[in-house]
Amino acid sequence: MKFFIQTFGCQMNVNESQKVEALLLGHGLERAETPESSDVLLINTCSVREKPERKVFSFVGRLKAPGRIIGVMGCVAQQYGERMTERERAIDFVIGTQNLHRVPEILETVLRDKSKRVETRFYSPETSLEIFKAPLTSPKVSSYVTIMQGCDRFCSYCIVPFVRGRERSRPSSEVLEEVKALAEKGVKEIILLGQNVNRYGMDRGNDLTFPQLLRKIDSIEKIARVRFVTSHPASLDDETIRLFGELESICESIHLPFQSGSDRVLKMMGRGYSRALYLEKIEKLREIQPEIALSADVMVGFPGETEEDFKETLSLLETVQFDTLFSFRYTPRPMTRAAEYPNQIPEEVKLERLQTLQALQSEITLKMNRLQVGKVKKVLVEKPSKRPDRFMMGRTRDNRVVNFEGPSDLVGREIEVRIIKGYQNSLLGKMEEHHVY
Ligand code: SF4
């Protein structure tokens, strides 16, 4: 029996799909190459942005076929539960965010009893994180390791605490074992995942804190690089910031969402920091690590956002000069406080603000990429590039994509590349002769 997992959403969803895949392979199922050739189709969903259920139902509509078992898991599954099977009869089972470890067992009962199943309950912290014990079957040069799940912050626009639950950290022993096992399989870069990684361990009494965990991972031989997402400006502490200048494995890049440049809007969002505090964190990071590349998330059109507030967001972009920015327009999410706020912003205003902001950031990103020209950068080679023949793709420590001509046996190695051109989303480089690590 062949299965296919279609993943929507964030890196955390990607990692969860990888873990579910490992479980299903362990239960004797095989991977299908395409959704069309699958006997079992699983859809891992995300409900952070608008109307995600529409995306899921249209995907199911296109892929349903006689005899094909279809399961929906993740955030949308958690949010809608049995309403999904009621609305679309082709959906056979629905699995909430804390039930992923049960996928094989639930699939078995669906096949055996020819009945529908909906499982969306929340569990104890340990059981809710059980899925992450499954070892990755085919790890890449750069692999994800989820260290925690859920969030306690309840920002006024965010559905995550409702669909993923409260903060829960994996035991450090388990995380470290997973990193060591990945290192043995040839993984060179680890990306630690959590909704707010800076709060790692806070729920676990005397287990390791996040900076302590980073130190332990740094001491694991063969792991050359460590990154982590997502940090929260109010939780990112000085000890973690200092590690950017201290630990060799910590890459010179950080993703630190700011969401708005206006204190008034930040307050309405319930973000727990001010513009000044955000800028202070950026200053400290650049002081410790002048080469650090900065990326962030920002939202426009939050209820009540005025032109003045929006201008403050633009001015924050000018001040910080982010290397990369992920920008969105606000969309009301069910269960959240902001969905009930008065002064919702008309769609056309949101769109106009988004376009203005993206135009400004495009200029900044291009400028930052062009500033790399002439520099020699260490690049971890990941795979053949999308460019024509003989080109490989890798990443610099400051998280820029570099394409360069080179042999495919460089995958997994760090090499030195001279940057010869900077584009909007990537760099073009030339391998330096003598520097392969
Ligand atoms: S910090 Fe705020 S935006 Fe991020 S996951 Fe938690 S509640 Fe959502």
Q: What fold characterizes domain 376-436?
A: OB fold (Dihydrolipoamide Acetyltransferase, E2P) (2.40.50)
State the Cα–Cα distance between residues 345 and 416, nearest whole angstrom. Answer: 48
Residue 333: CB within 6 Å of ligand 1? no
Residue 161: CB within 6 Å of ligand 1? yes
Looking at residue 389, its pLDDT comes to 74
399 versus 50: the higher-pLDDT residue is: 399
Question: Residue 323: exposed, middle, or buried by beta-carbon count in 10 A (0-12, 13-18, 19+)?
Answer: buried
Residue 231: CB within 6 Å of ligand 1? no
Looking at residue 390, its pLDDT comes to 85
Distance 116 CA to ligand 1 centre (A): 33
Residue 151: CB within 6 Å of ligand 1? yes
Residue 60 token pair: 């199911």
Distance 158 CA to ligand 1 centre (A): 6
Residue 199: CB within 6 Å of ligand 1? no
Distance 156 CA to ligand 1 centre (A): 9
State the Cα–Cα distance between residues 395 and 163, nearest whole angstrom. Answer: 33
Ligand 1 pocket check: which of 75, 196, 278, 297 to mutate, most ligand atoms within 8 Å of Cβ? Answer: 196
Ligand 1 pocket check: which of 155, 200, 230 to mutate, most ligand atoms within 8 Å of Cβ? Answer: 155
In the predicted structure, residue 355 carries a pLDDT above the cut 90 = yes
In the predicted structure, residue 436 carries a pLDDT above the cut 80 = no
Residue 349 token pair: 């205003």
Ligand 1 pocket check: which of 48, 97, 149, 160 to mutate, most ligand atoms within 8 Å of Cβ? Answer: 160
Distance 306 CA to ligand 1 centre (A): 23
In the predicted structure, residue 314 carries a pLDDT above the cut 80 = yes
Name the nearest CA neighbour of 266 among 311, 299, 314: 299
Residue 153: CB within 6 Å of ligand 1? yes
Region 16-43: mean pLDDT is 97
CATH architecture assigned to 2-123: 3-Layer(aba) Sandwich (3.40)
Question: Residue 160: exposed, middle, or buried by beta-carbon count in 10 A (0-12, 13-18, 19+)?
Answer: buried
Region 208-230: mean pLDDT is 97
State the Cα–Cα distance between residues 356 and 368, nearest whole angstrom. Answer: 19
In the predicted structure, residue 234 carries a pLDDT above the cut 70 = yes
Q: Could you tell me the pLDDT band of residue 9, with boundaries at 50, 70 and 90?
A: confident
Q: For strand 2-7 and strand 40-45, is the pairing parallel, antiparallel, or unpaired?
A: parallel
Looking at residue 52, its pLDDT comes to 80
53 versus 356: the higher-pLDDT residue is: 356
- Domain range annotation of the chain: 2-123, 126-370, 376-436
Distance 383 CA to ligand 1 centre (A): 33
Q: Which helix (H) or strand (E) holds 433?
A: strand 427-436
Q: Could you tell me the pLDDT band of residue 281, with boundaries at 50, 70 and 90?
A: very high
Q: Could you tell me the pLDDT band of residue 434, with boundaries at 50, 70 and 90?
A: low
Region 231-241: mean pLDDT is 98
DSSP lists the bridge partners of residue 326 as 297
Q: Could you tell me the pLDDT band of residue 437, with boundaries at 50, 70 and 90?
A: low
Q: What is the pTM of this model?
A: 0.95
Looking at residue 230, its pLDDT comes to 97
| Cα 103 versus chain centre, distance | 22
Q: Could you tell me the pLDDT band of residue 30, with boundaries at 50, 70 and 90?
A: very high
Residue 198: CB within 6 Å of ligand 1? no
In the predicted structure, residue 156 carries a pLDDT above the cut 90 = yes
Question: Which residues does 329 contact at the CB level (< 8 Å), separation at least 6?
Answer: 299, 300, 301, 347, 350, 351, 353, 354
Looking at residue 137, its pLDDT comes to 87
Looking at residue 263, its pLDDT comes to 98
What's the pLDDT tens digit per position in 161-198? 999 999 999 999 999 999 999 999 999 999 999 999 99
Looking at residue 435, its pLDDT comes to 59
Residue 236: CB within 6 Å of ligand 1? no
Distance 428 CA to ligand 1 centre (A): 35
In the predicted structure, residue 279 carries a pLDDT above the cut 80 = yes
Percent of the chain's residues with pLDDT above 90: 94
State the Cα–Cα distance between residues 237 and 32, nearest whole angstrom. Answer: 44
Q: How far is CA 108 from CA 25, 29, 39, 117, 275, in A?
A: 14, 11, 13, 11, 52
Determine which residue's CA is closest to atom 4 belonging to ligand 1. Answer: 195
How far is the first Cα of the chain from the last one, in angstroms, to the nearest whole number?
Answer: 42
**DSSP label at residue 240:** H
Residue 427: CB within 6 Å of ligand 1? no
Residue 47: CB within 6 Å of ligand 1? no
Name the nearest CA neighbour of 189 among 119, 253, 280: 253
Residue 160: CB within 6 Å of ligand 1? yes
Tell which atom from ligand 1 comes closest to the C-alpha of 151.
Answer: 6
Query: Which residue intervals of 27-117 are DSSP H helices?
Result: 52-63, 75-80, 83-87, 103-113
Ligand 1 pocket check: which of 195, 267, 336 to mutate, most ligand atoms within 8 Å of Cβ? Answer: 195
What's the pLDDT tens digit per position in 96-155? 999 999 999 999 999 999 999 999 999 999 999 999 999 998 899 999 999 999 999 999
Tell which atom from ligand 1 comes closest to the C-alpha of 159.
Answer: 8
Distance 272 CA to ligand 1 centre (A): 11
Looking at residue 292, its pLDDT comes to 98
Least confident range of 67-76, 280-289, 384-393? 384-393
Whether the link from the prior residue into 127 is cis, omega within 30° of 0, is: no
Whether the CB-CB separation of 409 and 365 falls below 8 Å is answered with no
Tell which atom from ligand 1 comes closest to the C-alpha of 152.
Answer: 6
CATH number belonging to domain 126-370: 3.80.30.20
Residue 23: CB within 6 Å of ligand 1? no
Region 356-384: mean pLDDT is 97
State the Cα–Cα distance between residues 222 and 181, nearest whole angstrom. Answer: 11
Percent of the chain's residues with pLDDT above 70: 99
Residue 13: CB within 6 Å of ligand 1? no
What's the pLDDT tens digit per position in 52-109? 888 899 999 999 999 999 999 999 999 999 999 999 999 999 999 999 999 999 999 9
Q: For strand 391-396 and strand 376-384, is the pairing parallel, antiparallel, or unpaired?
A: antiparallel
Distance 413 CA to ligand 1 centre (A): 35
Region 251-265: mean pLDDT is 98
Whether the CB-CB separation of 271 and 259 falls below 8 Å is answered with yes
Whether the CB-CB separation of 397 and 338 falls below 8 Å is answered with no
What's the whole-number average pLDDT of the chain? 95
Question: Which residues does 164 contact at the CB level (< 8 Å), separation at least 6?
Answer: 75, 78, 97, 98, 149, 150, 151, 195
